[in-house]
Amino acid sequence: MAHRSDAEQRLLEKAGRYLPGGTGGNLSFPKDLDFLVSHGKGSHLFDMSGNGYVDWLMGSGPMVLGHAHPAVTEAVIKAVEGGSTFFATNEKAVELAEELVNAVACAEQVRFTTSGTDACFQAMRAARAFTGKEKILKFEGAFHGTSDYALMSLTPSPSVEYPQAQPSSGGIPKAIQELMLIAPYNNLATTETIINAHQDDIAAVIVEPIQRVIAPKPGFLQGLRDLTKKYNILLIFDEVVTSFRLAYGGAQEFYGVTPDMCTVGKIVGGGYPLAALLGRADILSVYDRGASDAETFVNQIGTLNGNPVACAAGLATLAVMREEGTYQKMHAAGAAVRGALVDICNENGVPVQNCGEDAIFDIYFSEQPVSNYRDTLAADSAMMTRFTTGLLERGILKGAQKYYPSAVHTDEDVEKTIQAMREAVPLARG
């Protein structure tokens, strides 16, 4: 167990006193391993007691260039010197909007928000306003943020029949259930059956191109594109995670399928609060009061929408992402860790399912192939918790789900991680 300084221990006690559950609502650690982040540099995090960790969480994805990248830091300092926010359209927001339209296949216009949750919420609202229909189809187990709509059937009981929605949080009005339809990811036949039965009411289908870490089966995303066109329904890709990670053009470039709208976040803000809704100009015209009537106009206001500091960080990040070799480094680091972990499990006789892509992946300790949410329920979650804890004890940090390779993970980081996995897998098996 890592040493904890008196100063860190005192702040941990204050966190338990002042924050519900002792956290900000994101990642939490076992009590005997709990720590507070002091700072990050490159591919490493450091706690208040001076302990270092190879970081595969990377802020849950945004830090694709590592922590405190010099180019991003310089851009942010320069932006701050010009003012923090204006509540008016600014130079950096326009420049970033142009870059997003140039990079992403479905993008003709951009509407900025400050979080992936809001971007996905706006995508669903815009779809309703544009089509005049009220229902949205999402896939069971998909995470589109924490709005009432998005938290339908994130972690439902497997006994719930499709397309019934089930809230996965307290505080959600029961009426929301009637507005969301639920289908199994990677299952086109069931999805079409649901769409056919409710086609007159469905404004859009929203999907994570990679659902959590489950990659789409060959033809699934194109099948969704074909189905939504057939039934005149909008298709939304939630690319908050996959944008600028799988490829510069996101999942749309990586898989060769173009939706009507998409949401982007994480990487696009360079570690600062920024996200956006991108899409066809006719759809996004619902945000233009001059182009909409009283029933279709979407009133979307945010104090920090298109914040100049966040946009400057995003522009600097994307400039580095365009440099030759950036994606190759990231994918190579992910491939090395991913492949080694599967080999280690096989060598130890541990059932394992290898899920995702090299730029974003994880495994499930399971004998059953994983293609949708219900398949994940067969996995040994207790073993995964023990394994993740074992990595943390050895100075390797990852979240409960997902490895986020970066362009700055080194060969040394990869080797240290693999060595920790060699030790943690047999111990996690028990």
The per-residue pLDDT for 4 is: 87
Dist CA 369 CA 367 (whole Å): 7
Dist CA 357 CA 120 (whole Å): 23
pLDDT score of 392 more than 80: yes
Other Cβ atoms within 10 Å of 29 Cβ, number: 14
Query: Which pair of structure tokens corresponds to residue 259?
Result: 């939706």
Dist CA 360 CA 245 (whole Å): 8
pLDDT score of 430 more than 80: no
Q: Which of 328, 350, 373 is nearest to 422 (CA)?
A: 350
Dist CA 346 CA 342 (whole Å): 6
The pLDDT of 251-275, averaged and rounded, is 98
Delineate the domains of the chain, giving CATH numbers in brackets: 6-68+325-429 (3.90.1150.10), 70-321 (3.40.640.10)
The per-residue pLDDT for 31 is: 85
The per-residue pLDDT for 166 is: 97
pLDDT digits (tens, 9 = 90+) for 57-87: 999 999 999 999 999 999 999 999 999 999 9
Angle, nearest 10°, between helix axes 411-429 and 326-347?
30
The per-residue pLDDT for 78 is: 98
Dist CA 279 CA 264 (whole Å): 11
pLDDT score of 387 more than 80: yes
Q: Which of 88, 148, 147 is nearest to 307 (CA)?
A: 88
Tell me how long the chain is.
Answer: 430
pLDDT score of 1 more than 90: no
Q: Rounded to two decimals, what is the model's pTM?
A: 0.97
The per-residue pLDDT for 136 is: 98
Q: Where is average pLDDT lowest: 9-13, 122-126, 131-135, 262-266?
A: 9-13
The per-residue pLDDT for 27 is: 86
Query: Which pair of structure tokens corresponds to residue 191?
Result: 């999805």
CB 204 within 8 A of CB 233: yes
pLDDT digits (tens, 9 = 90+) for 4-57: 899 999 999 999 999 999 999 898 888 888 999 999 999 999 999 999 999 999
pLDDT score of 96 more than 70: yes
The per-residue pLDDT for 248 is: 98
Dist CA 74 CA 26 (whole Å): 28
pLDDT band at 294 (very low <50, low <70, confident <90, very high): confident
pLDDT score of 133 more than 90: yes
The per-residue pLDDT for 2 is: 73
